């Protein structure tokens, strides 16, 4: 590990040298790429230098204990040794985490799909609650949301809603949200006061650029139809809604949110690209394939990743056995603790696998 860190430090010093080179400064793209690389490596190099400094101080204190005769000096060295040992261990763990390869998609924007599963209208109402939760969280992060397609229910909520979230490191923070979210509460339609269980599925797809996924126009079948609202009534007298079928994969995307056929087609293509990128990743990595299958399951209660229990004001994430008694705050977009604990659990597992 330390040989690798020394190589990274040398590379970092070379980048700093290059950034001071007038020929590189005049090459805007090259200068931008190097500046980005410097910014990415700087925290790791800083931590490694701090670690090396701690190791040197440890050795100095050991030398004092071994060769120094002054009792006061030896006592001070002994006290500092314990503190330095703890710091060394902490920095080693931090360096190991920093060396874990980052998911190349972590910086991507996302497309999120929320679908009502088991529970009828109540599941649709909870789909609306989850959409509001993610919207409020995005607002807190300074991100922006755009609805791409929605199928609202007459009593509120959604049968399905698809939307994009744009901002800094969106995928890195929300990628663990994919799966089945179960809700336990007394529905507004329940006169007997009994607690019902419903389920909603959430899929999180990294947004794909045209360079990420090549789509041959010959592989697409595009159908136009009239948009309809809740209850099936036509809300548009012209065929502005768009359905795109990707023939090789059978993936079908519909979009009817905009009155403009052109805008609906652009949104549908955005969703299609994201789904094709997800499919491409599944085929490349068996682990991602397994996670994706779980993520887009049909909303069956047995495939749950998280439970929202209203009577107890409780949210439980079953993957990491974390229970928080602040359901009201979480549904208002306070997801920081949940997301942080999921990221820590993921990093810990990566460290374990790395040995």
Note the Cα 292 to chain centre separation in Å. 13
Together in a domain, 115 and 95: no
Domain boundary among 48, 67, 99: 99
Strand pairing partners for 245? 221, 252
DSSP secondary structure letter of residue 208: P
Cβ neighbours of residue 27 closer than 8 Å, sequence gap 6 or more? none
**Cβ-defined contacts of 78-83 (< 8 Å, 24+):** none
For residue 83, being part of any structural domain is answered with yes
Quickly list H helices, the chain: 2-19, 22-25, 28-67, 71-99, 120-141, 170-174, 261-284, 286-295, 327-331, 336-354
Domain membership flag for residue 166:
yes
SS3 assignment, position 194: coil
C-alpha–C-alpha distance, residues 109 and 291, integer Å: 19
- Given 99, 126, 141, which residue is the final one in a domain? 99
In a domain, 302, yes or no: yes
pLDDT at 180: 93
The number of domains in the chain is 2
- Whether residue 289 sits in one domain with residue 196: yes
Has residue 104 been placed in a domain? no
Residues 181 and 81 occupy one common structural domain = no
Nearest alpha carbon to residue 215 among 279, 264, 161, 171: 279
pLDDT value at position 297? 38
pLDDT in tens, the chain (355 residues): 778 888 889 999 999 998 888 888 888 888 888 998 898 899 999 999 999 999 999 998 888 888 777 888 888 888 888 889 999 988 988 888 787 777 788 889 999 999 999 888 999 999 999 999 999 999 999 999 999 989 999 999 999 999 999 999 999 999 999 999 999 998 876 667 788 999 999 999 998 876 678 888 899 999 888 776 554 444 455 578 899 999 999 999 988 877 788 889 989 999 999 999 888 877 766 554 454 444 433 344 446 899 999 999 999 999 899 999 999 999 999 999 999 999 888 877 777 766 5
Angle at 304 between CA 299 and CA 309, to 5 degrees: 105
Instruction: Kindly tell me the sign of the dihedral angle through the C-alpha atoms of 117, 118, 123, 127.
Output: negative
How is residue 207 annotated by DSSP?
P
Residues 134 and 93 reside in one and the same domain: no
Dihedral, 125, 341, 346, 4 alpha carbons, nearest 10? 140
Last residue of a domain, one of 99, 121, 153: 99
Domain limits for position 33:
2-99
């Amino acid at each position: 590990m330390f040989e690798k860190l020394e190589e990274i430090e040398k590379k970092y010093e070379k980048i700093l040298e290059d950034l001071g080179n007038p020929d590189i400064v005049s090459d805007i793209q090259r200068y931008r790429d190097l500046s980005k690389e410097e910014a990415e490596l700087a925290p790791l190099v800083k931590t490694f230098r701090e670690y090396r400094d701690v190791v040197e101080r440890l050795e100095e204190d050991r030398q004092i204990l071994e060769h120094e005769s002054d009792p006061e000096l030896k006592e001070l060295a002994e006290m500092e040794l314990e503190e330095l040992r703890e710091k060394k261990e902490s920095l080693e763990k931090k360096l190991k985490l920093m060396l874990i390869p980052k998911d190349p998609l972590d910086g991507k924007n996302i497309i999120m799909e929320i679908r009502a599963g088991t529970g009828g209208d109540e599941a649709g109402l909870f789909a609306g609650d989850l959409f509001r939760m993610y919207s409020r969280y995005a607002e807190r992060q300074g991100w922006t949301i755009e609805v791409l397609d929605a199928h609202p229910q007459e009593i509120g909520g959604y049968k399905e809603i698809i939307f994009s979230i744009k901002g800094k490191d969106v995928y890195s923070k929300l990628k663990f949200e994919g799966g089945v979210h179960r809700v336990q509460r007394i529905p507004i339609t329940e006169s007997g006061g009994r607690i019902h269980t419903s389920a909603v599925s959430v899929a999180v797809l990294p947004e794909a650029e045209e360079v990420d996924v090549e789509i041959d126009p010959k592989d697409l079948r595009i159908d136009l139809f009239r948009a309809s609202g809740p209850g099936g009534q036509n809300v548009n007298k012209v065929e502005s809604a768009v359905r795109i079928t990707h023939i090789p994969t059978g993936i079908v995307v519909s979009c009817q949110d905009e009155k403009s056929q052109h805008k609906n087609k652009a949104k549908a293509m955005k969703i299609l690209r994201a789904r094709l990128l997800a499919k491409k990743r599944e085929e490349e990595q068996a682990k991602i394939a397994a996670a994706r299958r779980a993520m887009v399951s049909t909303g069956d209660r047995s495939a749950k990743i998280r439970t929202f229990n209203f009577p107890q004001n409780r949210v439980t994430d079953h993957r990491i056995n974390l229970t928080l008694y602040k359901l009201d705050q979480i549904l208002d977009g306070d997801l920081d603790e949940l997301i942080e604990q999921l990221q820590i659990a993921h990093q810990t597992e990566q460290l374990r696998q790395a040995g």
